[in-house]
A and B are shown apart, each in its own frame.
Chain A
Amino acid sequence: MKFSGLTRRQALESCISRGLLLSGAAMSQTKLFAAWQAAEAAAQKPTAREVLGPFYKKGAPNMKQLRPAGDPGFPLTVAGKVVNTKGQLVEGVKIDIWHSDHHGRYDLVGFKYRSQLTADEKGLYSVETILPGHYDDRPAQHIHYLISAPGHKTLVTQAYFATDPFFEGDPDKKFAKRNIVHNRELVRPVSLYEGPGAPRAAITFDICLETA
């Protein structure tokens, strides 16, 4: 939405809806519009949803290190920031993540590659794990997310990997292949770098929650 395309009434209504007019009486019109523009710039689209899938397991421990020593999987760091659609930090957020091992198998007995993370005071979360494998029904590598926070809608989604052979080197064109991935933005660029002793991968997966 561009400010120039708005009528004054629309801009004022938008300011009211964003809670900017609580102190509006003392603000000049210029300041008000500047505040509105700042709020508009911070505003974000909620993260796209995906299905929960059959392998969620509740009760995962809060663990940042999910990759045991000697794990044959390719090391992966997943990190991101959690905000709401106003760009604000979210209090009390719980981020359940789970994925398969490098063969595509989920641990349904214990909690391997499963964690319930929290975000720090800057809204950041991170986890050390491995690249998930492929399995027949869902042949694109993915990490499941179930994110909840007081006052916000629970978000169920999945992160995918742009380096996945499933996307044939062209996720822009191939992301919708076989109706498995429903949103291009969920396919994340993968950074590959030389870690201590071995190559590593990293993705950023930021999360934007809708208020309830």
Chain B
Amino acid sequence: MADTPERILTAEAVVRQVAFTADGASLMGVCQDGQVRFWDAQTGTLQRTIPWSKDDLRGLTLSPDRKLLAASGPEKVIKVWELKSGEMRHRLPALSVAPGELAISPDGKTLASNAEAENSIRLWDLATGTQRQVLPDGLGNSGLLFSPDSSLLVGANTDTVIRVWHTGTGKQVAAIEELPVAMFALVFSPDGRFFGAAGADRTIHVFETGGWKKVAALNGQPEMITALALAPQGRVLVAGGFDDVTVKNPVKVLVWDVPSRSVLRTLPARHRVQSVAISPDARWVAVADAEKTVHIWAAAPKA
């Protein structure tokens, strides 16, 4: 059947973030119960589970190299774990409010954190566990992402402005003010030349990162977008989200062919897509929903 996923992976908790391992053989799910689960991407069987946190998790991010996890809870602390050993590497205190949004740079050197009530972004040195910079931010941060070369940090806000900082100097280098509503999901092309943002207007807005000018808008998503993933070659893009009124409504996940700006496939999801991922070979799409499951689909419809 066209609308049946290739594999259904089940967890005992909501899967907050999904990622394929670098070899594409396994799918990892960072779960709300403080465990990371690894499944065989081909068979869907659970391979192993790494327990790492007993906290009530709020902010959560997996480093792009999948080696580190950072999380925040209701306390004014960020904890950073090494995934291989399951050991806590840093406990970053001295925050005035509990942080929400978190991001780790691709080079693994920097953690960015934001808290709703703080209107600033903090940059932390992950080698020493010390605070490096405080960047003045807008109202209501709704997303943080580092560029592929780790030189830039992008912060989206519910005041509808997207700000871009140079991570070395801490200087703001650009601000995108043309978007009418808030963006919740951010993505960079692998070469860093393009940046995509999607959110409440159900559109993926694409900007070139030389002058931060808009070059495309991908329309067609029926619900607001909260999760984006781009394949390593930059050709396949996946977007998912949830209905802004009734989060229990079924939703659609769209798989885009980036060069032609056309939809390759529309996948059904039960409700509230937490996270999406694409395999390194761009053949498989993983969708984590609020039902404690991950569905794996073929990215392209069968011929």
Please list the residues of chain A having a beta carbon within 8 angstroms of any beta carbon in chain B: 49, 51-59, 100, 103-106, 108-109, 135-137, 146, 154, 156
- Quote the shortest CB–CB distance from B284 to chain A (angstroms): 30
Interface residues of B (CB under 8 A from A): 116-117, 139-140, 142, 158-160, 180-182, 184, 199-202, 224, 244-248
| Cβ contacts A to B, 30 pairs, < 8 Å | A51-B116, A52-B116, A52-B139, A52-B140, A52-B158, A53-B158, A54-B158, A54-B184, A55-B182, A56-B140, A56-B159, A56-B182, A57-B181, A58-B159, A58-B160, A58-B180, A100-B245, A103-B245, A105-B244, A105-B245, A108-B200, A108-B201, A108-B202, A135-B244, A135-B245, A136-B246, A136-B247, A136-B248, A146-B159, A156-B139
Dominant secondary structure at the A interface: loop
How far is the CB of A155 from the nearest CB of chain B, in Å?
10
Given contacts A108-B181, A136-B248, 9 further A-B contacts (CB under 8 A): A51-B116, A54-B142, A54-B158, A56-B140, A57-B181, A105-B244, A105-B245, A146-B139, A146-B159
Whole-angstrom distance between the alpha carbons of A57 and B117 in the complex? 20
**Interchain CB contact under 8 A, A54 and B245:** no
Cross-chain contact B159 with A54 (CB below 8 angstroms): no
Distance (whole angstroms) from the CB of A163 to the closest CB of chain B: 21
Q: Which of B200, B244, B246 has the most CB of A within 10 A?
A: B244
Instruction: Tell whether, in the assembled complex, residue B159 and residue A55 are in contact, meaning their CB atoms are under 8 Å apart.
Output: no
A99 nearest CB across to chain B (Å): 13
Identity of the chain B residue whose Cβ is nearest the Cβ of A53 in the assembled complex: B158
Which residue on chain A has the smallest CB distance to residue B177? Answer: A58
Q: Is the CB of B158 within 8 A of A104?
A: no
- Chain A residues with CB under 8 A of B159: 52, 56, 58, 146
For A156, list chain B residues within 8 Å (CB). Answer: 139-140
Q: Is the CB of B160 within 8 A of A57?
A: yes
How far, in angstroms, from A154 to B158 measured CA to CA in the complex? 14
Task: Please name all residues of chain A whose beta carbon is closer than 8 Å to the beta carbon of B184 when the two chains form the complex.
Answer: 54
Q: Given the known inter-chain contacts A106-B244, A135-B245, please indicate yes or no for A57 contacting B180, CB distance below 8 A.
A: yes
Q: How far is the CB of B217 from chain A (nearest CB, A)?
A: 14
Interchain CB contact under 8 A, A49 and B117: yes
Which residues on the B side are within 8 Å of A56 (C-beta)? 140, 158-160, 181-182
A103 cross-chain contacts in B, Cβ below 8 A: 245
Q: Are B140 and A51 in contact (CB under 8 A)?
A: yes
Nearest neighbor of B180 in chain A, beta-carbon distance: A57
Residue of A nearest to B142 (CB): A54
Chain A residue contacts of B116, Cβ below 8 A: 51-52
Chain A positions within 8 Å of B140 at CB level: 51-53, 56, 156
CA gap between A146 and B142 in the complex, in Å: 17
Chain A min CB distance to B60 (Å): 18
Q: What residues of chain B lie closer than 8 Å to A146, measured between beta carbons?
A: 139, 159
| A186 vs B97: C-alpha distance when bound (angstroms) | 21
B141 nearest CB neighbor, chain A only? A52
- Which of the residues A49, A57, A104 comes within 8 Å of B245, measured between beta carbons? A104
CA–CA, A54 and B100, complex, Å: 14
B180/A54 in contact, CB under 8 A:
no
